[in-house]
Amino acid sequence: MRPSENFLSEAVRLREEKNSRRSLRIPEGIDFYSNDYLGFARSQAIIGSYQTKIQGLSQLGATGSRLLGGQHSLHQALEERISRLFRSEAALLLSSGYLANLGLIQCLGMDHTLIMDELCHNSMRNGAKLSGSKTLFFRHNDLEHLEKRLRDNPGSLILVESVYSMDGDLSPLTDIVALARTYQAEVVVDEAHAIGVLGPEGKGLVVQENLEAEILARVVTFGKAFGAEGAAILGSSRLKKFLVNFCQSFIYTTGVSLPNLLMLESAFEHFSASPHELKALQANVRYFSQEIGRDLASPIFSWSTPGNAAARAQAVELQAQGFAAYPVLAPTVKQGSERIRLVLHAFNTREEIQTLAQIMRQHA
């Protein structure tokens, strides 16, 4: 027996005991689970454009860190495109949203106390841990609690998401920015579930609320509504220069590969040229809201099914009816907050949405 075998199997056995063992499965059924909000991951128009573009490639991998020979004119061009698209002075590409949050918060934390919404994503929490800086949490979307934290720690860095990934609710961003101004604080916003989703242009909450100039850094991720992968940190040119020097998840890793850059280019071109998917997504959110009698702020809906066993059973029942949806179990969420995370898309049909709402009503 290998020395680590006991530890490996015991850790998984404990998960099993708590009904929370994770495993990999290929999804089957009508998609009410994925983050492919606009359907871009399977868009034939985008795939076609990408296929044309890669014909011209004479290089695949970036071949190294962008600081050590891995920089290509396509990185530069795409970062300029991203800056224009999301109205920021500068953009820095990273391989994923996880790495963007990790590296951004690790290096900004060097000079700040961090004050984070308690529901911020695991990547932001781990970025805070890596920074080694003092980290405080405020109750989810609770402005009074945030103000108390700021009063005790002026000049801190506030970390929030614009659309919270589990419940789909929005951050009161304009109010948070006002508090930041009062207490000389800075704000970092993770827009992972907001870009391609919110506002008439789908450019996220910061653009929708005209806060570009007020926010120190935005993280936009491309594995969700843009159907690809990768992420960018948006902010000033000064911020970008700082990140190129201090953001470890940018410095110590191979640059984004060229086919990936072209995939992103195709997705951005399609996004800029075609408003149809965004309109269809927003219409479906309104339709589902009517059907379930709740006003959803985003395409994410959390169907509360407390207990890991109950959440699993509900997901199995949905799957039996042809719907693919996943339970979110403790410890990913707090015990008692287990749920089915439902996600609406541009491509879901009215009939599918109606049937789903009907199943939910039967269990109300």
Ligand X SMILES: Cc1ncc(COP(=O)(O)O)c(C=O)c1O
SS3 7: helix
Stretch that binds ligand X, among 50-58, 188-196, 206-214, 269-277 (CB under 6 A): 188-196
Compute the least distance from the CB of residue 254 to ligand X, in Å: 16
190 lies in the site for ligand X, by CB under 6 A? yes
Which is nearer to ligand X, 72 or 121 (by Cβ)? 121
Stretch that binds ligand X, among 49-57, 187-195, 296-304, 348-356 (CB under 6 A): 187-195
- Residue 26: both structure tokens together: 């290929």
Pairing of strands 217-221, 231-235: antiparallel
Pairing of strands 339-343, 114-117: unpaired
Half-sphere exposure of 324 (CA within 13 A, CB side): 12
Stretch that binds ligand X, among 76-84, 186-194, 254-262, 301-309 (CB under 6 A): 186-194
One symbol per residue from 231 to 270: x for binding ligand X (CB under 6 A), - otherwise; what is it?
A: x---------------------------------------
Which is nearer to ligand X, 231 or 285 (by Cβ)? 231
Stretch that binds ligand X, among 141-149, 176-184, 190-198, 296-304 (CB under 6 A): 190-198
Among 113, 221, 249, 348, binds ligand X (CB under 6 A): 221
Residue number closest to ligand X, CB atom? 97
The Cα–Cα gap between 53 and 262 comes to: 7
Compute the least distance from the CB of residue 20 to ligand X, in Å: 18
Compute the least distance from the CB of residue 124 to ligand X, in Å: 7
Among 93, 159, 192, 267, binds ligand X (CB under 6 A): 192
Which is nearer to ligand X, 256 or 360 (by Cβ)? 256
Which is nearer to ligand X, 165 or 308 (by Cβ)? 165
The Cα–Cα gap between 123 and 270 comes to: 29
Stretch that binds ligand X, among 18-26, 185-193, 207-215, 246-254 (CB under 6 A): 185-193
The Cα–Cα gap between 46 and 28 comes to: 23
Q: Is the dihedral of CA 302, 226, 219, 231 positive or negative?
A: positive
In terms of Cβ atoms closer than 10 Å to its own Cβ (0-12, 13-18, 19+), residue 115 is buried
Which is nearer to ligand X, 133 or 221 (by Cβ)? 221
Pairing of strands 231-235, 90-94: antiparallel
Q: Is the dihedral of CA 242, 222, 319, 285 positive or negative?
A: positive
Among 123, 156, 298, 302, binds ligand X (CB under 6 A): 123
Smallest CA-to-CA distance from 266 within 41, 61, 6, 34 is with 41
Compute the least distance from the CB of residue 101 to ligand X, in Å: 6
- Residue 174: both structure tokens together: 């304009």
Whether omega before 200 lies within 30 degrees of 0, making that bond cis, reads no
Site for ligand X in 83-122 (CB under 6 A): 96-98, 101, 121
Smallest CA-to-CA distance from 117 within 142, 98, 147 is with 142
Residue corresponding to tokens 């099914």: 305
Among 165, 266, 302, 305, binds ligand X (CB under 6 A): 165
SS3 63: coil
Compute the least distance from the CB of residue 184 to ligand X, in Å: 26
Which is nearer to ligand X, 179 or 189 (by Cβ)? 189
Compute the least distance from the CB of residue 159 to ligand X, in Å: 11
Which value, in Å, is the radius of gyration of the alpha carbons in the chain? Answer: 21
Which is nearer to ligand X, 39 or 97 (by Cβ)? 97
| Continuous H helices in 247-346 | 248-251, 258-273, 276-292, 308-320
Which is nearer to ligand X, 297 or 309 (by Cβ)? 297
DSSP secondary structure of 89-100: SEEEEES-HHHH
Which is nearer to ligand X, 163 or 207 (by Cβ)? 163
* Chain contacts with ligand X (rule: CB under 6 A): 96-98, 101, 121, 123, 161, 165, 190, 192-193, 221, 223, 231
